[in-house]
């Protein structure tokens, strides 16, 4: 058989997706496991959104959509970006994609030439560097530190800028650290994009899941340089519907849509009508988001308190639904620690592919009962070390 491409051979499969699939499989086999792996809300999609999908089906809205999305949803997106993010966006500056992931994937395909550098802030979500490399780019890591709450230092970012810098990826609230970047930091990063003429890729998928602090969209300051990426998955518990979206300069959005036209054609039409309901029925959606946010806040507090009671260390997250746990009490590295925890009945994601060495990522998008069980199991594993 002829071999595989160099490009694909150089690509690591997603650790978050792989570890989650493994946890689901173990549970299917009857293993008693608390899975803190999934970066997905455990709530069901709100009923009004599901009803909109049923309506779309009944009305026969089952055909191809334009590559950038149905016009009704693009109008609603422009309105959402204006209303919630203070971004002056026209409908033709928006695109609907197959999850936030395809928005990012298409974006890197659209803006990167071989050797172009993209600054990623470590610890980072596992897929950024892989997508950059897949598009021929070179990820350049800039550290964020636990002692600084994993908030980036714009001076450190500035030192990483070269003539080849094409983009900087920011993700606030952050996966996997839970950091919410202060407005001044995001403003400073937007100024760097303007001064050095590179794109700012702002992944805002967790914008509604903030427990302390406020969300700020840096695209306000650098509209011609910023691509804002978001999606329905985290806000409306719609991970399986695969609807992401983005806005930015018209030429970039058009190029991203061209990539879709030659790959996926368009995202799922029925899911787009459902997302339109999620974005436009503001009263019902706001109630859902607030309910979910309060549940995550309680779970975060329960988890942090429990961890500190058994002597484990974690930087307090202000947003998203992740905690990075220091694994030094469990094992010499995070991979061994994750194995030990799995043997002890808790599935977690080792920090390795996030560049969060010496840490594992816990997702608290699960019930308080599961979190209590996980804490008991952590304590039991610790006793055995």
Residue 235 CB, nearest approach to ligand GLU (Å): 13
- Within 122-141, the residues that bind ligand GLU by CB under 6 A are 125, 127
Where does this chain touch ligand GLU (CB under 6 A) — which range of 13-21, 103-111, 270-278, 304-312?
Answer: 13-21
- Within 274-313, the residues that bind ligand GLU by CB under 6 A are none
Residue 14 engages ligand GLU in binding (rule: CB under 6 A): yes
Residue 39 engages ligand GLU in binding (rule: CB under 6 A): yes
Comparing CB distances to ligand GLU, the nearer of 206 and 273 is 206
By the 8 A CB rule, do 226 and 193 touch? Answer: yes
Catalogue the E-assigned strands of the chain.
34-35, 94-98, 117-122, 138-143, 165-171, 199-203, 226-231, 243-247, 322-326, 346-347, 349-350, 359-363
Going from the C-alpha of 301 to that of each of 213, 266, 309, the distances in angstroms are 16, 40, 12
Comparing CB distances to ligand GLU, the nearer of 39 and 67 is 39
Where does this chain touch ligand GLU (CB under 6 A) — which range of 9-17, 152-160, 253-261, 371-379?
Answer: 9-17
Residues 6+ apart with CB under 8 A from 297: 211
Cα torsion 20, 21, 22, 24: sign: positive
Residue 16 engages ligand GLU in binding (rule: CB under 6 A): yes
- Within 91-110, the residues that bind ligand GLU by CB under 6 A are 101
Comparing CB distances to ligand GLU, the nearer of 78 and 246 is 246
Comparing CB distances to ligand GLU, the nearer of 17 and 331 is 17
By the 8 A CB rule, do 58 and 251 touch? Answer: no
Comparing CB distances to ligand GLU, the nearer of 166 and 242 is 242
Cα torsion 34, 38, 41, 44: sign: negative
Residue 123 CB, nearest approach to ligand GLU (Å): 12
Where does this chain touch ligand GLU (CB under 6 A) — which range of 11-19, 131-139, 150-158, 277-285?
Answer: 11-19
Where does this chain touch ligand GLU (CB under 6 A) — which range of 14-22, 149-157, 212-220, 312-320?
Answer: 14-22
Pick the closest to residue 49 from 308, 274, 326 (CA basis): 274
Pick the closest to residue 291 from 236, 363, 364, 239 (CA basis): 236
Alpha carbons 36 and 264: distance in angstroms, whole number: 31
Alpha carbons 211 and 255: distance in angstroms, whole number: 36
Residue choice 94, 106, 175, 285 for contact with ligand GLU (CB under 6 A): 175
Comparing CB distances to ligand GLU, the nearer of 222 and 232 is 232
DSSP of 31-75: ---EE----S-SSPPPHHHHHHHHHHHHTT--S---TT--HHHHH
Residue 164 CB, nearest approach to ligand GLU (Å): 27
Binding mask 177-216 for ligand GLU (x = CB under 6 A): ----------------------------------------
Pick the closest to residue 69 from 231, 204, 298 (CA basis): 231
Residue 382 engages ligand GLU in binding (rule: CB under 6 A): no
Pick the closest to residue 202 from 185, 277, 211 (CA basis): 185
Comparing CB distances to ligand GLU, the nearer of 19 and 78 is 19
Where does this chain touch ligand GLU (CB under 6 A) — which range of 12-20, 213-221, 254-262, 367-375?
Answer: 12-20
* Residues touching ligand GLU, count (CB under 6 A): 9
Comparing CB distances to ligand GLU, the nearer of 123 and 154 is 123
Residues 6+ apart with CB under 8 A from 290: none
Comparing CB distances to ligand GLU, the nearer of 13 and 115 is 13
By the 8 A CB rule, do 126 and 11 touch? Answer: no
Alpha carbons 224 and 215: distance in angstroms, whole number: 20
Residue 34 CB, nearest approach to ligand GLU (Å): 16
Q: Which helix (H) or strand (E) holds 333?
A: none
Comparing CB distances to ligand GLU, the nearer of 38 and 314 is 38
By the 8 A CB rule, do 119 and 160 touch? Answer: yes
Instruction: Please give the residue ranges that form the binding site for ligand GLU (CB under 6 A).
Output: 14, 16-17, 39-40, 101, 125, 127, 175
């Amino acid at each position: 058989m002829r071999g595989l491409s160099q490009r694909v051979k150089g690509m690591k499969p997603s650790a978050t997706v792989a570890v989650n699939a493994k946890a689901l499989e173990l549970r299917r086999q009857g293993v008693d496991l608390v899975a803190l792996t999934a970066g997905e809300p455990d709530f069901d999609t709100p009923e009004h959104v599901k009803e909109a999908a049923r309506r779309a089906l009944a009305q026969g809205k089952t055909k191809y959509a334009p590559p950038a999305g149905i016009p009704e949803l693009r109008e609603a997106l422009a309105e959402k970006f204006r209303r919630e993010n203070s971004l002056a966006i026209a409908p033709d500056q928006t695109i609907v994609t197959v999850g936030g992931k395809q928005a990012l994937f298409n974006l890197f395909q659209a803006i990167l030439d071989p050797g172009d550098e993209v600054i990623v802030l470590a610890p980072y979500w596992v897929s950024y560097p892989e997508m950059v490399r897949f598009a021929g780019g070179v990820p350049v890591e800039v550290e964020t530190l636990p002692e600084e709450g994993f908030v980036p230092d714009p001076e450190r970012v500035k030192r990483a800028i070269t003539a080849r810098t094409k983009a900087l990826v920011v993700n606030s609230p952050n996966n996997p650290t839970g950091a919410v970047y202060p407005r001044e930091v995001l403003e400073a990063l937007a100024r760097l994009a303007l001064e050095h003429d590179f794109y700012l890729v702002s992944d805002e998928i967790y914008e509604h899941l903030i427990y302390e602090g406020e969300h700020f969209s840096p695209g306000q300051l650098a509209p011609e340089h910023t691509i804002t990426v978001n999606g329905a998955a985290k806000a409306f518990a719609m991970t399986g519907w695969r609807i992401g979206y983005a806005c930015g300069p018209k030429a970039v959005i058009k190029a991203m849509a061209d990539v879709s036209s030659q790959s996926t054609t368009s995202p799922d039409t029925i899911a787009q009508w459902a997302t339109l309901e999620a974005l436009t029925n503001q009263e019902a959606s706001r109630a859902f988001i607030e309910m979910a946010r309060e549940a995550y806040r309680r779970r975060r507090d329960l988890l942090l308190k429990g961890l500190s009671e058994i002597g484990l260390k974690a930087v307090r997250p202000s947003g998203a639904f992740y905690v990075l746990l220091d694994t030094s009490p469990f094992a010499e590295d995070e991979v061994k620690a994750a194995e030990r925890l799995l043997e002890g009945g808790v599935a977690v994601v080792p920090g390795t592919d996030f560049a969060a060495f010496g840490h594992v990522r816990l997702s608290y998008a699960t019930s308080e009962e599961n979190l209590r069980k996980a804490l008991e199991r952590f304590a039991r594993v610790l006793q055995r070390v």
